[in-house]
Amino acid sequence: MGRFWSILFFLVPILAIATLVMANFGIAPLETARLPRSFSMAGDTIDQLFNGIHLLSALILSGTVLSLGWALWKFDHRRNDNPKARYFTHNTRLEIVWTIIPAFILVFLAFFQMKSWSENKMDRPTLTVNGQSVPVPPIVMVKAKRFGWEFHYAGDDGIVDTQDDIYIENQLVLPVGEDIVLQLESRDVIHSFYVPELRLKQDIVPGMTQFAWFHSREAGDIEIMCTELCGWGHYIMKADLKLVDRSTYDLWLAEQKSPYTPEFKSNPEVAAAENARYTESDARLERSAQAGNDLAENSIE
Amino acid sequence: MAEATVDNLSKHPRTGNPVSRFVFTYVFATDHKIIGLQFLFSSMIWFFVGGFLALAVRWQLAWPWSDMPIFGHLLFADTGGQMSPNFYTMLFTMHASIMIFFVIIPILAGGFGNYLIPLMIGAEDMAFPRVNMMSYWFMWPAFGFIILSFFLPEYGPAAGWTSYPPLSVLNGGAQTLWLMAMVCVGISSMLGAINYLTTIIQMRAPGMTMFRLPMTIWGMFITAIMQAFALPVLTAALLMQLSDRILFTGFFLPENVSINNGVAASGGGQALLWQHLFWFYSHPAVYIMILPAMGMVSDIVSCFSRKPLFGYRPMVYSITAIAGLGFIVWGHHMFISGMNHTLAMSFMVSTMLIALPSGVKVFNWIGTLWGGKLHLTTPMLFCIGFVSMFVIGGLSGIVMSAPPVDIVVHDTYYIVAHLHYVLFASSVLGVFGALYFWFPKMFGRMMNEPLGKIHFLLTFIFLNGTFFPMHFLSRMPRRVADPYIYDGLKDLLPLNQFMTICAFAMGAAQIIFLLNFFGSLWFGPKAGRNPWNSNTLEWTVPSPPPHGNFEVQPIVRRGPYEYSHPDVEEDFCPQTKNDV
């Protein structure tokens, strides 16, 4: 039986690596089990990092678990003729070796990935205006709420969160081939904005204004997922994301560009909520009440 | 040894009527062994409750909105057995809460910690037997609150086991019960931790120096330190959330959040504050859930290799390093949370450093096996299973500790895979190994070996079938009742069905364990004092040990791992043996 168990443990890294390879290269039956193709350069970098650490992990997994299986194969008491096990208690040199070498690998990994993190989360893209570089202004303000997404496009003034914003629900259209900055806010609880194709994820915390950015090189129809539990309807909180070229985008935006867009008019509740936002007094209270009523309606199953 | 610390209450009452004798021996027990078994049995019951919740989660993911077997029609007769989304949210919330707070922490620290610490250090009982009893009985209010919460209209707490506000503050009354339950569990663990620390520091037998302690005790000792330092933070955070809910304070509620049907919250709080406080406990809790298992695995691997534990001191130092680093890595749960993005860098470095002591432990376990005379008994197999699965769990930990990669995998099934490889495939396999190993000591009978091996084989195969494919699902968000609502996830249905079938098979394999456990309890062959020829002190006393543990004061003369010493005739050498 000793051989049986060592084969079982040999199978662990073999199957783990085989399935990982199948998933990564789209081999049946795991052809669907992988991340969708990345739409952005930053996403490619993340993928390379992901695959690189997986490769390293595969090496370590094979090394450790195969030697575990080998120990079971070789040192089973029925096949070990010595009356006793070998008596040795420690080897300081070995301990130092297997601490220092992984330490170097990990420190290298740590520094290697800092660039990717900073381009994804820390260094907001900039543009040059009058010889000065300024951060790219947000093209749209995303307001997450239970259980849907509001998208407020900047109106004629080019600034989001003002009176001439264009309001769309659960559908986001954005141009490809340029730096896109999103302003993320929440109306109620914590949500999270996840687009797998863009390798973009950011929790949206109520009371905080955050920015997320990406640069897609491909057009396509993809989905926005909520990845932070926000209540019973967490699973229905999805929105469509249409990535189109600039001219299509401009055309589309122009169609939406009346403050009384069809979407706006057809949804009096939203219109009321929007108006309340800009009344001087009691704006806060009304908005809360409005959102509260939405919640109350939503929570009835 | 300890006249001053063991009082009369902790002795079995020898007189009185049988009912009160039974009650004081087995119910309001102060004997560490009985309390250990109380923790063990209550954790085992909750283990099966938590397991059923997990199977219901898997059912929904494989056959969404279909009639759940048995329970579907019982609970959802009006919808034809189709569960509601809120019920699904409750399922995974309570699966995690029960498995973490009612199973793994109590069975490791409460069950094995209580049972083994005095026996392995040569003490008569714990330092504070009545505090020990209180520690167990604080679990019962928690059990009560949680059972009660299942009967509320919203089926139970449903804000995730992490209970992030504002959602948790906004949810129904079950959340209040959840918070109160967690406060009680926290008090139980803190009382236990104080007791373990005092006992290990003060009550070791003569000759039992710190560096002669078995690794099990080191694991429990470091765990107790972590609990003592981290739990007050969680308890404070729980009380803050409780007061946000019932006293309408605003610790975690920012301005303009509407709760309770439009009543504006008091505001001025910060939702991220909870996450910092929560993870300041709950990341160390991850190590609280694995360090004792690592300690027990070290002892069992050394015993069945018939060879000294390779690198005893590095093993001790690495446990200590894991615990120390464990306090400064909580931010890696929050890379995407909106926390300062520069701060993520420092948390990444400290998280990666934890891989070093963890790696040292794995290498030392392999070094222990190397050149040994391996006896592949059931406990040994579970422990080798632990080591191999811990490698997978540890490596996926390195993957996610990279913040750019975490952008993709955060809050997806990749995380679910990782945490189950650490908590189920490592901790729970370690617990099974320890149960098979110490069962003869606890109950005086041996467990059945062939059944144990079949149990191991099936559990091992099906746990990998259940959890390994989750590594491929980094585009599938977790906590989603019906992922197939997304067009991009529709093609994952067959894979999810495969995982669910494996999960059900794994659940069924536990029936073999139950049969073996309860069968052996009554019909197993009698075990002697030392059925495994092990060195540590608990094997020098009868099985099960009598009240007061040791007939004579044990004098410890050597470390716990003198297996196959060239100067000794047998291949083991108990710690008390004096003629070498």
Alpha-carbon dihedral sign for residues A273, A279, A285, A286: negative
- Nearest CB among A53, A201, A226 relative to B336 is that of A201
- Which are the contacts of B90, defined by CB distance < 8 A and separation ≥ 6? B154, B155, B156, B157, B158, B174
On chain A, the residues whose CB falls within 8 A of the CB of B499 are none
* Burial of residue A104, with CB atoms counted within 10 A of its CB: 0-12 exposed, 13-18 middle, 19 or more buried: exposed
Residue for token digits 């694995």? Answer: B290
Among B211, B475, B561, most A C-beta atoms within 10 A, so best to mutate, is B475
Shortest distance, CA B464 to any CA of chain A (angstroms) = 9
- Residues of chain A scoring pLDDT < 70: 1-2, 257-301
- Provide the pLDDT for residue B395: 95
Q: Inform me whether the pLDDT recorded for B190 exceeds 70.
A: yes
The amino acid that residue B513 corresponds to is F
Min Cα separation A297/chain B (Å)? 9
Q: Which residue is it, tokens 């048995």?
A: B70
Please, which pLDDT band fits residue B4 given cuts at 50, 70 and 90?
very low
Q: Tell me the mean pLDDT in the region B533-539.
A: 94
CA distance B158 to B53: 13
Would the CB atoms of B167 and A292 count as touching at under 8 Å?
no
Residue A59 within any structural domain of the chain:
yes
Per-residue pLDDT at B268: 81
**Cβ B49 vs Cβ B484: under 8 Å:** no
Burial class (CB in 10 A: 0-12, 13-18, 19+), B1: middle
Q: Please report residues of A whose CB lies closer than 8 A to that of B301.
A: none
Look at residues B572, B534, B528, B574 and name the one whose alpha carbon lies nearest to residue B554: B574
Given A72, A190, A285, which is nearest B167 (Cβ)? A190
Which residues in chain B have Cβ-Cβ distances shorter than 8 Å to A203? 336-338
* pLDDT surpassing 50 at residue B278: yes
Residue from the list B256, B395, B464 with its beta carbon closest to the beta carbon of A284: B256
HEC readout, B303-316: HHHCCCCCCHHHHH
Q: Is residue B14 over pLDDT 90?
A: no
In angstroms, the separation between the Cα of residue B141 and the nearest Cα of chain A is 27
Q: Which residues in chain B are contacts of A30 at CB distance < 8 A? A: 472, 495
For the CA atoms of B156, B160, B166, B167, what is the dihedral angle to 10 degrees?
Answer: -50
From CA B43, how far away is CA B164, in angstroms rounded?
A: 26
Are B311 and A90 an interchain contact pair (Cβ–Cβ within 8 Å)? yes
Alpha carbon of B111: minimum distance to chain A alpha carbons (Å)? 29
Query: Looking at residue A284, what is its pLDDT?
Result: 44
d(CA B292, CA B109): 7
pLDDT for position B23 = 81
Q: Measured between beta carbons, which residues in chain B are less than 8 angstroms from residue A296?
A: 261-262
* Most B CBs within 10 Å, among A9, A84, A146, to test the B interface: A84
Q: B69 to each of B56, B72, B77, B81, how far by Cα in Å?
A: 9, 6, 12, 8
Please tell me whether residues A183 and A275 are part of one structural domain: yes
E strands in A109-238:
126-129, 132-135, 140-145, 148-153, 166-169, 171-175, 180-186, 191-195, 200-204, 210-214, 220-226
Residues A154 and A282 in one domain: yes
At B110-121, the pLDDT tens digits run 999 999 999 999
pLDDT tens digits, residue range B194-217? 999 999 999 999 999 999 999 999
Note whether residue A84 is domain-resident: no
Q: Which residues of chain B have a CB within 8 Å of the CB of A89?
A: 308-312, 561
Please give the Cα distance from B402 to A46 (Å, whole number). 10
Kindly state the tokens that stand for B241.
């959330």
A-contacting residues of B 111-130, CB under 8 Å? none
pLDDT of residue A287: 44
* pLDDT attached to residue B415: 95
Helices A41-74, A92-117: axis angle to 10 degrees equals 160
Mean pLDDT computed over B500-528: 95
**What ranges do the domains of chain B cover?**
32-255, 289-486+500-527
| A111 & A150 share domain | no
Q: What is the pLDDT of residue B436?
A: 96
- Contact between chains at B305 and A102 (C-beta distance less than 8 A): no
The C-alpha of B568 sits at a distance from chain A's nearest C-alpha, in angstroms, of 11
CB atoms within 10 A of CB B227: 26
Provide, as residue numbers in chain B, all residues whose Cβ is less than 8 Å from the Cβ of A73: none
Please tell me the distance in Å from B398's CA to the nearest CA on chain A: 8
The mean-pLDDT minimum among A83-92, A130-139, B12-21, B331-340 falls in B12-21
The whole-angstrom separation of Cα B360 and Cα A103 is 11
Residue A149: inside a domain, yes or no? yes
For B21-48, what is the mean pLDDT? 90
B 163-192 near A (Cβ less than 8 A): 164, 166-167, 170-171
Domain that holds residue A277: 134-299
- Cβ contact B231:B281 at 8 Å: yes
Residues A8 and A149 in one domain: no
Asked whether this chain's domains B32-255 and B289-486+500-527 adopt the same fold, the reply is: yes
What distance in Å separates residue B504's CA from the closest CA in chain A? 21
Own/partner pairs for B261-268, CB < 8 Å, 24+ apart? B261/A292, B261/A293, B261/A295, B261/A296, B262/A288, B262/A289, B262/A290, B262/A291, B262/A292, B262/A293, B262/A296, B263/A288, B263/A292, B264/A284, B264/A285, B264/A288, B265/B166, B265/B169
Confidence check: pLDDT of B258 > 70: no
ipTM value: 0.90
Q: Which of B256, B312, B360 has its CB closest to that of A99?
A: B360
The separation between CA A203 and the C-alpha centre of its own chain, rounded to angstroms, equals 9
**Is A72 in contact with B371 (Cβ distance < 8 A)?**
no
CB contact under 8 Å between A53 and B399, yes or no, is yes
In 3-state terms, what secondary structure has residue A132? strand
pLDDT score recorded for residue A282: 42
Chain B partners of A273 at a C-beta cutoff of 8 Å? none
pLDDT at B334 over 90: yes
- What does the pLDDT read at residue B262? 54
> B367 and chain A: CB distance < 8 Å anywhere?
yes
Q: How confident is the model at residue B249 (pLDDT cuts 50, 70, 90)?
A: confident
A273 to chain B nearest CA, in Å? 13
What is the pLDDT, as a whole number, of residue A280? Answer: 37
Architecture of domain B32-255: Up-down Bundle (1.20)
Asked if B306's CB is within 8 angstroms of A19's CB, the reply is no
Task: Flag whether A151 is in a domain.
Answer: yes
State how many domains chain A has: 2
Domain identity same for A96 and A142 = no
- CA dist B152 and B1 (Å) reads 51
Q: Which two tokens stand for residue B256?
A: 């303009």
Dihedral angle sign, alpha carbons of residues A156, A161, A167, A171: positive
Residues A253 and A175 in one domain: yes
Q: Inspect the interface and report whether the beta carbons of B360 and A95 lie closer than 8 Å.
A: yes
Query: Rounded to whole angstroms, how far apart are CA atoms B387 and B384?
Result: 5
Rounded Cα–Cα distance for residues A34 and B553 (Å): 61
A285 contacts on B by Cβ (under 8 Å) = 264
Task: Look at B320 and A81; give whichever has higher pLDDT.
Answer: B320
Residues A263 and A169 in one domain: yes
Question: B493 CB near a chain A CB, below 8 Å?
Answer: no
Question: Which residue from A61, A225, A289 is facing B392, i.e. has the nearest CB?
Answer: A61
Q: Which residues on A lie below 8 Å from B269 (Cβ)? A: 207
> Cβ(B543)–Cβ(B532) under 8 Å?
no
CATH number at residue A274: 2.60.40.420
Residues A139 and A55 in one domain: no
Q: Which of B313, B367, B411 sits opposite A228 (nearest CB)?
A: B411
Task: Give a yes or no: residue A127 inside a domain.
Answer: no
- Category of A282 on φ-ψ map: left (φ > 0), alpha (ψ -120 to 50) or beta: left
Residues in chain B: 580
Does A200 share its domain with A234?
yes
Phi, psi dihedrals of residue B451, rounded to the nearest 5°: -60, -40
Q: How far is B271 from chain A (nearest CA, A)?
A: 7
Q: Which residue has the tokens 């290990």?
A: B200
Q: Contact B310/A88, CB-based, under 8 Å?
A: yes
**Which residue among B167, B405, B408 places its CB closest to the CB of A229?**
B167
CA distance, residue A102 to nearest chain B CA (Å): 7
* Contact status of B375 with chain A (Cβ, < 8 Å): yes
Residue B256 has pLDDT above 90, yes or no: no
CA-based max dimension of chain B: 79
Task: Identify which of B262, B373, B411 has the shortest CB distance to residue A80.
Answer: B373
> What number of residues does chain A have?
301
Question: What distance in Å separates the CA atoms of residue B271 and residue B159, rounded to the nearest whole number?
Answer: 14
Q: What does B288-308 look like in DSSP terms, one character per residue?
A: HTTHHHHHHHHHHHHHHHTSP
> Closest-CA residue in chain B for A119?
B404
Q: pLDDT of B162-182, one tens digit each?
A: 999 889 988 888 999 999 999
A179 and A72 assigned to the same domain: no
The string of pLDDT tens digits covering residues B49-106 is 999 999 999 999 999 988 887 777 788 877 777 888 999 999 999 999 999 999 999 9
Cα B532 from Cα B440, distance rounded (Å): 9
B66 and B83 Cβ atoms separated by less than 8 Å = no
- Please indicate, yes or no, whether residues A55 and A168 belong to a single structural domain of this protein: no
B526/A contact by beta carbon, under 8 A: no
A4 Cβ contact list (under 8 Å, min separation 6): none
Q: What is the pLDDT confidence band of residue B7, given thresholds at 50, 70 and 90? A: very low
The pLDDT value recorded for residue B465 is 95
Residues A95 and A184 in one domain: no
Chain B residue at shortest CA distance from A202: B336
Q: How far apart are CA B79 and CA B72, in angstroms?
A: 9
- Of A53, A72, A196, nearest to B402 by CB-CB distance is A53
Q: Is the pLDDT score of B512 beyond 80?
A: yes
A72–B369 CB contact, under 8 Å: yes
pLDDT band for position B265 (cuts 50, 70, 90) = low
Name the strand (E) or helix (H) holding B384: helix B378-401
Using DSSP, state whether B477 is helix, strand or coil: strand
Of A19, A110, A288, the CB nearest to B258: A288
CB distance from B79 to chain A under 8 Å?
A: no
C-alpha neighbours within 13 Å on the C-beta side of residue A55:
8
pLDDT at A29: 83
- 247-306 in B: which are within 8 Å (CB) of A? 254-264, 269-272, 305-306
Q: What is the amino acid identity at position B82?
A: Q
pLDDT level of residue B141 (50, 70, 90 thresholds) = very high
Helix (H) or strand (E) holding A241: strand A239-244
B153 inside 8 A of chain A by CB: no
Residue B189 burial (CB < 10 Å; 0-12/13-18/19+)? buried
| Count of Cβ atoms closer than 10 Å to residue A221 Cβ | 10
CATH of B289-486+500-527, one of 2.30.42.10, 1.20.210.10, 3.30.70.1230, 1.20.1050.40: 1.20.210.10
